[in-house]
Amino acid sequence: MMTSGPSRFPWHPLAVGVIALSAGSAQAQVSLNYDSLSSFEEPLAFEIGEATVLVGGVVDVPVKLTVDDSVFDGDVDVSLVTNLDFSVEMQLANRWNVGLAYFGQYDENTRDYDDNVAGFVRTSWGSLIGGNVDGLVREATRRRRGVGNADLAFDDFYGRINRWGGGYSGRFGPTTLTGIVDGDGRFELGAQFQRPVGHKDYRVATRVARARYLAADGVTDFDTIGVGAVGEFVYGSSLFDLGLGYENLQAGAIDLDRWYVSGGAQTKIGVLSLSAAGHYGELDGTSESSASLGVRYDIARGLSTNVGVNARKAQVARDGISVVDEDETSATASVRYSF
């Protein structure tokens, strides 16, 4: 059994600089929904006294068929999934905005209720945020999610920072900067640039993360450092994007290098939305791959039917340690109402 040794990465002092990012205009609404199930409707907004409240949510009834290790095992799940995205914000006399954001999700199949909460102070110089903010940089710099029930696996670093942390987010014209530091000094830094040119829209984003990864054996901790970039092109109702990434994983004497490339496209034709995406990478010379297809049919405002087919495979072991062990293909259909 291997456990992680002392970190050899020289990046730690960079984490201190997250709060020192300079002036810009305020960042948009804070959302703590890091899940693939999210509303595509604008949130409901109303006022209570001096406070502005934004509420959004999803009710989803999925039917999922799973093929594990290339053999259909009769695993068919029918469940109810609901989530709620809530924020309240008010302006102080000095024109600073203070607020609280909350996200909760209940899955009937697993009987799990997961939630995130964070407080923030927003000024003309940007926003300071604290709480369950581990996914904020990822959400600001990631490739666009597929439609329907598409969910592309491995399209991210393996390493994650802790749920609790604090950081900064600010927008400077077409550029958005975001940085988060957790209680152990691990961090994520990200930048996004987005601007329309004529009838087209271009977006580029980059992200650096120093984090940890718990291996598939459930015991071994890896220290990780990752660097990634995303490019996106939008023309009319169609979107095309590409993501590249490199990650180093270290635990004791084990030192693994990983690289990957992900790409996809999606389009909307009337009430029908379609997406397709694929991923290929290698961890210490062993391949990982995934693919996803998604379809959404809009029935009425907020009401839709959704289909997704997702496949993933990565089985890597080193020095008797199972680092990654994934091999599954699934198809999911659902009726969804979002508000």
CA 248 to chain centre: 20
Q: What are the pLDDT digits (tens) for 195-251? A: 999 899 999 999 999 999 999 999 999 999 999 999 999 999 999 999 999 999 999
Band of residue 29 on the pLDDT scale cut at 50, 70, 90: low
Higher pLDDT, 124 or 136: 136
* Spatial CB neighbours of 294, under 8 Å, sequence gap ≥ 6: 146, 147, 148, 149, 150, 266, 273, 274, 275, 276, 306, 307, 308, 309
Could you give the CA distance from residue 48 to residue 87 in angstroms, rounded to a whole number?
A: 12
- At residue 233's C-alpha, the angle toward residues 171 and 21, to 5°, is 20
Which tokens go with 292? 């996803």
Among the listed residues 210, 232, 208, 206, the one whose alpha carbon sits nearest the alpha carbon of residue 141: 206
Q: What are the pLDDT digits (tens) for 107-132? A: 888 888 999 999 999 998 999 999 99
Q: Give the CA-trace dihedral at 157, 207, 28, 294, to 10 degrees.
A: -40
Q: What are the pLDDT digits (tens) for 275-329? A: 999 999 999 999 999 999 999 999 998 899 999 999 999 999 999 999 999 999 9
Higher pLDDT, 302 or 175: 175
In this predicted structure, the answer to whether residue 44 has a pLDDT above a threshold of 90 is no
Could you give the CA distance from residue 130 to residue 321 in angstroms, rounded to a whole number?
A: 35
In this predicted structure, the answer to whether residue 88 has a pLDDT above a threshold of 70 is yes
Band of residue 78 on the pLDDT scale cut at 50, 70, 90: confident
Average pLDDT over residues 160-185: 95
Domains of the chain in start order, with CATH, are 12-338 (2.40.160.10)
82 contacts 57 by C-beta, under 8 angstroms:
yes
In this predicted structure, the answer to whether residue 103 has a pLDDT above a threshold of 70 is yes
